[in-house]
Structure 1
Amino acid sequence: MRGKLLVETAPMLRPTTALALLAVVTVTAFAAKPEKPARPEKPVRPVKEFVPAKPAFTADPAVPAFDEKAAVPVHLDTSMFKVPEGLEISVWATSPMLFNPANMDVDHAGRIWVAEGINYRRNSGRSREGDAIRVLQDTDGDGKADESHVFVREKELECPLGVAVFDNVIVVSNTPNIIVYTDVDRDLKFDPSVDKREVLLSGFEQPQHDHSLHSVYAGPDGRWYFSNGNCGAQFTDKSGNTFRIGSGYLNNTYVGEKSDDGHVYVGGFTASMEPNGHNARVLGFNYRNSYEGVKNSFGNMFLNDNDDPPACRVSHLIEGGSFGFFSRDGKRQWRADKRPGQTTAIAEWRQEDPGSIPAGDVYGGGAPTGMCYYENGALGDKWKGLLLSCETGRNVVFGYLPKLDGAGFKLERFDFCTTNTTGVFKGSDFVGGKDNMSDESHTLFRPSDVCVGADGAIYVSDWFDKRTGGHMDTDETCSGTIYRIAPKGFKAQQPKISYDTTEGQIAALKSPATNVRHSGFVKLKEQGEKSLPAVTALLNDENPYIAARAVWLLAQMGEKASLRIRPWLESDDADKRLVAFRALRAAGGDLLDLYNSMAADGSAAVRSEVAVAMRDVPFAQSGKILVELAKRYNGKDRSYLEAWGIGCTGKEAEVWAALKKAGNGTAAEDWSDAFAQATWRLHPVAAVEDVKARALSAKLSAPQRKLALDTLAFTQDPSAANAMLAVAKDKESPIHGDAMWWLINRSTNDWNEYNIAGELKAQGIFDPDAIKLVTIEIPPAGESLVKLEDVLKLKGDAKNGSSLVVRCVMCHQINGQGVEFGPSLQGWGLSQPTDIIAQAIIDPSKDIAHGFDGVEILTKDGLKIHGMVLAEGDVFIVRSMGGQTQFVPRKRIANRTKMTRSLMLSGSQLGLTAQDIADIVAYMRQAE
């Protein structure tokens, strides 16, 4: 055992033991709780009055009023679409039955409700009476909508980004408010004299902004879920708890402040609440702009997130997790902390930082929107467990069949529905070119949302435009379409669901449509014991998702009902154990005995759920459990490590001390990789000396030493800074450059009070007065000798282009060669039109890539340095052409100016002819 700090896995708890514990748990959970000693009153923190931000755009009289009757709508022919074998796509509804569909939902009768965005951004006021929530229906069952009317239209509605329907309750997400309309007389038309309207929650920043409030949807636990982008929010739930979630995107006044639950949340976020607005919780945070998410009947959550620049993702959400777009205080965007050698995908989601959960499928540029999860319906068992995510920038609805992988998921992407199989995209930010617009019909498909219908078919709404992203829309007709994807020859049969009977409520709970299921859940729960036999019978349903829905409900129907899920908790099927555990936890109560027993479960997914449940449990009750969970970390499962780290929140030092004690004094150099990673994740001050010893040890590999160095970098204490200085003294060390980068970077933020610059000089590591700087100047490009139109006339030779592209490696990386200075070219050309690639080579200054703006530094002794600033503080780290890096003391800088031209050499400067450029373009269009 010597040298291994994390010990062998203990045998699983025997079923009889867990059964006994469940009996105790279920009684305890629903019995009256014993009185606890009164906690000392905490000082009341004054809540800042929320002042709604001014709309980004206000109604402009110059904007022509939209005339629905005069508009000449457009939609794509279904022959342009590619869908999986055996399925077919058809037009279910199109303009003028609906316009600019931003979001949609399905009710129990199969009607589709649409949130329209005629007044989107610069066209605010185009619909003079405000935007609408519209209801569409297929009354004759021929597979096409034949009836459409407005449920509500208000001037306050300005491109609402969400609509959700729960029986006769319609929830609209319209920043700054979540608005609840109750259709009292059930006539599908809002009448303020009869029906009810309530602002459920308010305080979401930036009306008329894509990065603000998104749609509400139900989870299998009976709660409502929603997401908000990184514009920020300061809202108070109906229980009186205030959440302050800001970021450096708009520099909200409350950025970095704790919410009333004691945690700091930043950036975009996912939250849940009870349907009455009570007991809100933040479940995930630090996104850029997650447009929508899903929570399936197993309780697994998935979301998508927007790029900045190309690093869009579809991800599995671990409760309480951060995705790393901003620093943990929310004040620095990811570019400020991008480390040398990191790719955009790694840096943007801080995948090498402790406390950032795995980003999932990072697929590059795009503009993701709506999501759904198919569990049952018309598509059949082949597609059971299908995750769908709309991608407007790529003219596609992505499909995934998530596979459990330890505590996380493998997310293998495929095109479920697309008009564009070329891999060349237009009219999206990531393509480049501020004026870039789609000019071919196959690039006009902009899927804004996707839902599973009450009939079990898939429905996709199309915004339809030449442009997506950049807060733009160009389609003056406001055309929109809803497509249906179903098996060939499918005949829709809308279920006749009555919420007044147990049978109807069970039918609702079994519905393919997420929010219909919620209404069934609520009605069955209200019935209590009367519905118990029918709900229990669902436990044996052959569809595991339907059976799981019954488990969540039974857990909330009292002690007698919860005992009926006992076989699931003891099942050999890890999914069943996980669902039962999650359901009991969602129901509430004292579950400490259950947590203790499940900490020894054989499934990493189950144990990670136990881990996140420990986040707000004091060390006295959770310490033993967290140590037990750590012993079962295999040193490879990042999702598990992050879930465990979330459980250790606020008690990192105590957990680490207990783990070290369990290692019986193992020397730092002999730590297992698993314990070294656990230390990195917790980075307590008490570990500094041991971690320093590992960083300095020549016995360890460079990656092991670098992990130790990174552990120091995330430790907020002067001792960590001193340890980093000790590492930087060894200029022959393989991690010397990393230590220097960390010292200079941290001197501008987390360690800015530790006099890093002074210590670097005092210890003889770096003397800003003695450093020798050199001039590095990019020559002006001058007028190009090659014209774009000349290149586009030529046929390229990809083979010759593979040789010519070597001229680019002094600034770019491609095929494993080159310098990390300009954007990586690996795979870039696959998603770019020919003219964009050619223009970037001819004149790189025409459209400078995100994050690669140049700076001209003029020193006091007359040196001129052109490059990118990697870190800024008392010392600037500047990287120039060829990857040459210089450390420039601030006090030696006379002037710093943002360059208006690119740092990259033009095609003419590289000596490329029109044919050469055509050859390079041909190569890049096929290079993997």
Structure 2
Amino acid sequence: MRILFPVPYAPMLRPSTALALLAGLTVSVFAAKPDKPAKKEKEFVAAKPAFTPSADTPAFDPSKVTPQHLDTSMFKVPEGLEITVWATSPMLFNPANMDVDHAGRIWVAEGVNYRRHSGRSREGDAIRVLQDTDGDGKADESHVFVREKELECPLGVAVFDNVIVVSNTPNMIVYTDVNRDLKFDPAVDKREVLLSGFEQAQHDHSLHSVYAGPDGRWYFSHGNCGAQFSDKSGNTFRIGSGYLNNPYVGQKSDDGHVYAGGFTASIDPSGHNARIMGYNYRNSYEGVRNSFGDMFLNDNDDPPACRVSHLIEGGSFGFFSPDGKRQWRADKRPGQTIPVAEWRQDDPGSIPAGDVYGGGAPTGMCFYENGALGDKWKGLLLSCETGRNVVFGYLPKPDGAGFKLERFDFCTSNTTGVFKGSDFVGGGKNLSDESHTLFRPSDVCVGADGAIYVSDWFDKRTGGHQDTDETCSGTIYRIAPKGTKPQTAKISFDTTEGQIAALKSPANNVRHTGFVKLKEQGDNAVAAVATLAEDKDPYLAARAIWLLAQMGEKASLRIRPWLESDDENKRLVALRALRAAGGDLMDLFNSMSADGSAAVRREVAVAMRDVPVAQSGNILVELAKRYSGKDRSYLEAWGIGCTGKEDEVWAALKKASNGTPAEEWTDAFAQATWRLHPAAAVESVKARAVSAKLSPQQRKLALDTLAFTQDASAAQAMLAVAKDKESPIHGDAMWWLINRSTNDWKDYNIAGELKAQGIFDPEAAKLVTIEIPPATPSLVKLEDVTKLKGDAKNGSSLVVRCVMCHQINNQGVEFGPSLQGWGLSQPTDIIAQAILEPSKDIAHGFDGVEIVTKDGIKIHGMVLTEGDVLIVRSMGGQTQFVPKSRIASKKKMDRSLMLSGTQLGLTAQDVADIVAYMRQAE
């Protein structure tokens, strides 16, 4: 057997090589091409509200409500830290987002006019400024910076010195406080719509907050409502969404790529040179980019598959199909779990989803690098989770080209594991007045004093675009070592010392102002920045490296010790900083494609994304040789680099294999072929799919490779595989043929070919009637169950009655929602109600359909795939292929496909026993 991918790692660059490369670099600012003519801006009409309130909408009067907040004694925080109230209503109301300025003031975007309460604050929502003037750890002053009727629950506020950026769909608004009096005055100050074209005002899945990166650029996230916006360079980005079926779904953006779903973008502060950093999310509320350049984000679920993830530049998380037209459930394969299907983890082109933790409603994020918490917490990633009353903590650990994300509760009011008011536990039907369930952390920031600040929306409900707290109460908590008072350095942006102090700030957006001011100084500040690059604190030093790369050719030469370092993170930061500065780096990329670090090679790979194959081909082949076959992050980063040149790269790899027969491919080469899925590989991949010499897993990978190849030859190859009905992958081949006949292969006459080749004739297929028995009122009442003590041991035996519809303990069929671990996060009454009356609250995505054929066959089930042939799955996991031509009627059922507790023959004690078992079953 020939080894196609030798994997011994090449040594690091020799000092002489890297020095020579660096000396020849010509570093420039980001804008590498002339600006296109800017498109005419939409005219802003002052005091124009996004929504007009109805006449009976009561106006919000703060003086007539009783503000509320939680007793800090109910919070659990790490040993040695304490949580205190920094500010609460009436100093602020409904905090949707916040930011910290250089003086330690906290700026809050309020959402009094949230959704159905539009117009409750008659003059619009506010951006508010709070401050602790006496340094006792509590805010003592609050005032409104700006209030406008156009502001309707803005979902983001960012402060860069006297520049305040507000995210208020459809616009990103920039206010400049010219006279620095912390109050917006249209006669003196400036207001500009920097970007526009973000879809769905007053929607949680739209434009979110702006934050700065270590490269001097601004970053922001957006949900899956879709967007069509143009930057100041005249480039238009079209991000389609099957969620709202935007007219530009599947269209290319001006950068040549097709984007779908939620996304992360970056821009120059001037609004020029926009880039899409990641896409195909559901609704990422916020992200971070730390001083090393690592990006992380969180994302909402549909249904329970919320995640916190490492973002690989240019990566897709797969919520929609690549063209944006199909949501994930349309492509969910038999046997896939929801987390795997929702983020398309079995599909080439989807990056690893990271920590997928289940149901919830994630919001703000931050990354702690330095400050009051001490060295123990350096590198702490924090993510707010309103649905679970917690701020999650992570200490990301490098793992090949990706990161391990091990989750813990950093701050929570609810340690019971029983949650209320969130969509995954019944939403508005499962509210509670219990105080510990009211903590809804909307945002988290590192303060200028280095403490952690958490804003609390405070409500019985989260998600579903709903809120219930008519007081609009809100609180900001401060988390710091016990007994510490704020120590905020006084920063003057007029001196080099003050600018360096700003660059060293614990607060992310304060650092940006220091970066900008030092860069403006040019040569005069190089010595001071170079000194910071020698700091023992790796985060502080990294910030200086990013800046040196943009301070001219001589300054960039000071980066060379990092390129030659034995520390792979230093090499990575140096490479990223030089990329951000611009210039011709192809010689450097070529040399670093042999670097011993998978993370460094990942960075080289994504840098090749828009580089023509004539310049990037050899580098991509070199990177492929170092793929171990076990690092999905590396494989996907490499695939991103191969975008648009998959055929040429695969041909070069095949040539390098010296004719290795398909059956003897290494797993690494087979996976690389799967990731690229070029048409030229079809015959070789088909040979692997039909080979009895290979394992079923290897054959299935080959089958999946065919399924993602957009070519008629791949469809023919799949038909050939499906002919062998004894093959262990026959069922998979049939599923792919039916599925692809409705989408990517719809022009290839799949149905006709199946019939002609004698594989499957949907018109002649035997269909059978499968009906769910009529719903009957439950003979057992909920209150009869909740007063009983359940026997978990007996419940483990009784739960087998559910396996005809559900999977639990690795048994059962995939029909209804998986029950594996479901009960751990559910209260007793919700579990019991779901068993007794499943039609009362049908799980999202499990709606039943009744199909009646022209010859009277009635089928109750879920439609997995629409098209000329419908794939319908019914109780017991039975799957039928129903030609559309044979259907007389099709309608949505008004009841669940699941049997009730009475129909399953369960008594009140039986239900109590099953509940007890499910409350403890992993």
Normalised by the length of structure 2, the TM-score is: 0.98
In structure 1, the partner of 2:792 is: 798
Q: Matched residues in 1 for 2:603 and 2:284: separation?
A: 23
Please name the residue that 2:432 is paired with: 438
1:712 aligns with 2:706: yes
- 1:231 pairs with 2:225: yes
| Aligned counterparts of 1:321 and 1:537: Cα–Cα separation in 2 | 35
> Aligned to 1:753, what secondary structure does the other structure show?
helix
Partner of 1:161: 155
* 2:338 equivalent to 1:344: yes
Q: What amino acid is the match of 2:250? A: G
Counterpart check, 1:572 vs 2:571: no
Tell me, yes or no, if structure 1 residue 145 matches structure 2 residue 144: no
The answer to whether 1:851 aligns with 2:845 is yes
Partner of 2:482: 488
Name 1:459's counterpart in structure 2.
453
Aligned-partner SS, 2:746: coil
1:521 aligns to what SS in structure 2?
helix
SS at match of 2:220: strand
What is the CA-CA distance between 1:49 and the residue it aligns to? 9.6
From 421, 430, 435, give the equivalent of 1:427: 421
TM superposition shift of 1:50:
12
1:307 paired residue number: 301
Per-residue CA deviations over 1:394-441 (Å, capped at 9, x if unaligned) read: 000000000000000000000000001111111011112542212311
Which residue, out of 239, 243, 261, partners 1:267? 261
Alpha-carbon distance in 1 for matches of 2:862, 2:536: 59
CA distance in 2, matches of 1:545, 1:192: 39
Q: Which residue number in structure 1 is paired with residue 551 of structure 2?
A: 557
CA displacement, residues 613-651 of structure 1 (integer Å, 9 cap, x when unaligned) = 000100100000000000000001000000000000010
Unaligned ranges ≥5, structure 1? none
One-letter code aligned to 1:21: A
Among residues 502, 508, 516, which one is paired with 2:502 in the alignment?
A: 508
1:356-409 deviations in whole A, cap 9, x for unaligned? 000000000000000000000000011000000000000000000000000000
Tell me which of 386, 390, 395 is aligned to 2:380.
386
> What CA distance in whole angstroms lies between the structure 2 residues aligned with 1:447 and 1:877?
42
Query: Pick from 81, 88, 94: which aligns with 1:100?
Result: 94
The DSSP-based 3-state class of the residue aligned with 2:831 is helix
Deviation at 1:877, TM superposition (A): 1.3
User: CA separation in 2, counterparts of 1:49 and 1:484?
Assistant: 41
Residue deviations 1:640-691, cap 9 Å, x none? 0000000000100000000000000000000000000000000000000000
Q: Which runs of structure 2 are paired with 1:368-407 in the superposition (5 Å)?
A: 368-407=362-401
CA contact (8 A) 1:56 1:209 kept: no
- Pairing 1:7–2:6 present: yes
CA RMSD of aligned residues (A): 2.0
- Tell me which residue corresponds to 2:286: 292
Q: 1:20-169 counterparts in 2 under 5 A?
A: 20-26=19-25, 28-29=26-27, 58-169=52-163
Q: Is the 8 A contact 2:445 2:507 kept in 1?
A: yes
Contact 1:325 1:350 in 2 (8 A): yes
1:697 maps onto 2:691 in alignment:
yes
Q: Within 5 Å, which residues of 2 pair with 1:879-890? A: 879-890=873-884
Residues 1:528 and 2:526 aligned together = no
- For 2:11, the aligned partner's letter is M
Whole-Å Cα distance in 2 between the matches of residues 286 and 380 of structure 1? 37
The answer to whether residue 319 in structure 2 is matched with residue 325 in structure 1 is yes
Structure 1 residue 7, shift from structure 2 partner: 2.5
- State the shift of 1:799 in Å: 1.2
How many Å apart are 1:21 and its aligned residue? Answer: 3.4
Q: What is the alpha-carbon distance in structure 1 between the residues aligned to residue 30 and residue 85 of structure 2?
A: 56
1:617 paired with 2:611, answer yes
Question: Could you list the per-position Cα deviations for residues 129-184 of structure 1 after superposition, in whole angstroms to 9, with x for gaps in the alignment?
Answer: 00000000000111100000000000010000000000000000010111111111
**1:857-896, aligned counterparts within 5 Å?**
857-896=851-890
CA contact (8 A) 1:8 1:631 kept: yes
Measure the CA separation in 1 of the matches of 2:649 and 2:626.
15
Instruction: Give the distance between the partners of 1:137 and 1:321, measured in 2 at CA.
Output: 39
Task: Tell me the equivalent position of 2:919.
Answer: 925
Go from structure 1 to structure 2 and tell me whether the alpha carbon gap of 1:13 and 1:386 turns closer, same or farther (over 3 Å shift): closer
User: In the aligned structure 1, how far is the partner of 2:790 from the partner of 2:30?
Assistant: 78
Identity within the alignment, %: 84
Distance 2:773 2:9 in 1: 66
Q: Distance in 2 between matches of 1:590 and 1:478?
A: 53
| Alpha-carbon distance in structure 2 between the residues aligned to 1:869 and 1:50 | 46
Conserved 8 A contact 2:38-2:233: no
| Structure 2 residues without counterparts, runs of 5 or longer | none
**Is residue 626–residue 648 contact of structure 1 (8 Å, CA) maintained in 2?**
yes
Show the counterpart of 2:909.
915
**Alignment check: 8 A CA contact 2:13 2:591 kept:** no
In structure 1, what is the Cα distance between the partners aligned to 2:859 and 2:656?
Answer: 54
Output the CA distance in 1 between the equivalents of 2:29 and 2:842.
64
- Report whether the alignment pairs 1:668 with 2:662: yes
Q: 1:818 to 1:80 in 2, by over 3 A?
A: same
1:156, 1:411 → 2: CA distance? 39
Task: Tell which deviates more after alignment, 647-656 or 771-780.
Answer: 771-780
Q: Contact 1:57 / 1:122 at 8 angstroms: preserved in 2?
A: no
Name the CA shift for 1:111/1:912 in 2 (closer, same or farther; >3 Å).
Answer: same
Q: 2:718 aligns with which of 704, 717, 724?
A: 724
What is the CA deviation profile of residues 822-847 of structure 1, one whole-angstrom value per residue up to 9, with x for unaligned ones?
11101100111111000000000000
Partner of 2:197: 203
1:18 aligns with 2:12: no
Aligned to 1:185: 179
Query: Which residues of 2 match residues 469-480 of structure 1 at below 5 A?
Result: 469-480=463-474
Asked whether the 8 Å contact 1:116–1:132 carries over to 2, the reply is: yes
Amino acid across the alignment from 1:906: S
In the alignment, the residues of structure 2 paired with residue 468 and residue 114 of structure 1 have an alpha-carbon distance, to the nearest angstrom, of 19
Between 442-451 and 8-17, report the one with greater CA deviation.
8-17
Partner of 2:178, secondary structure, is coil
Question: Cα 1:14–1:331, aligned 2, differ >3 Å: closer, same or farther?
Answer: closer
Specify the SS of the correspondent of 2:529: helix
1:867 is paired with a residue whose SS is: strand
* SS in structure 2 of the partner of residue 69 of structure 1: helix
Q: SS of the counterpart of 1:220?
A: coil
Q: Distance in 1 between matches of 2:234 and 2:329?
A: 36
Aligned residues: 920
Instruction: Kindly indicate whether the alpha-carbon contact (under 8 Å) linking 2:30 and 2:581 is maintained by their aligned counterparts in 1.
Output: no
Q: Deviation per CA, 1:296-347: give whole Å up to 9, x if none.
A: 0000000000001111000000001111000111011001100000000000
Relative distance call for 1:538 and 1:781 in structure 2 (3 A) is: same
The one-letter amino acid paired with 2:514 is G
User: Match of 1:651?
Assistant: 645
Report the CA distance between 1:802 and its aligned residue: 1.0
Contact 1:56 1:206 in 2 (8 A): no
Q: TM-score, normalised by structure 1?
A: 0.97
Question: How big is the shift at 1:709?
Answer: 0.5
| Residues 21, 594 of structure 1: 8 Å contact kept | no
1:520 and 1:210 mapped to 2: Cα distance?
A: 32
- Per-residue CA shift, 1:850-876, capped at 9, x if unaligned? 111111111111111111111222221
Residues 779, 134 of structure 1: CA spacing in aligned structure 2 closer, same or farther, 3 A cutoff? same
3-state DSSP of counterpart to 2:244? coil
User: Aligned pair in 2 of structure 1 residues 32, 442: CA closer, same or farther (>3 Å)?
Assistant: closer
Note closer, same or farther for the CA distance 1:198–1:472 as it changes in structure 2 (3 Å cut).
same
2:243 alignment partner in structure 1: 249
**Against the structure 1 CA distance between its residues 227 and 504, is the aligned structure 2 distance closer, same or farther, given a 3 Å change threshold?**
same
* Conserved 8 A contact 1:50-1:203: no
Q: How much has 1:45 moved relative to structure 2?
A: 14
Superposition deviation, residue 57 in structure 1:
5.0
Q: Which moved more, 1:770-779 or 1:301-310?
A: 770-779
**Counterpart Cα distance in 2 of 1:621 and 1:926:** 57
Structure 2 residue identity aligned to 1:340 = P
The answer to whether the 8 A contact 2:49-2:150 is kept is no
1:23 Cα deviation after fit: 3.2
Secondary structure in structure 2 of the residue aligned to 1:845? helix
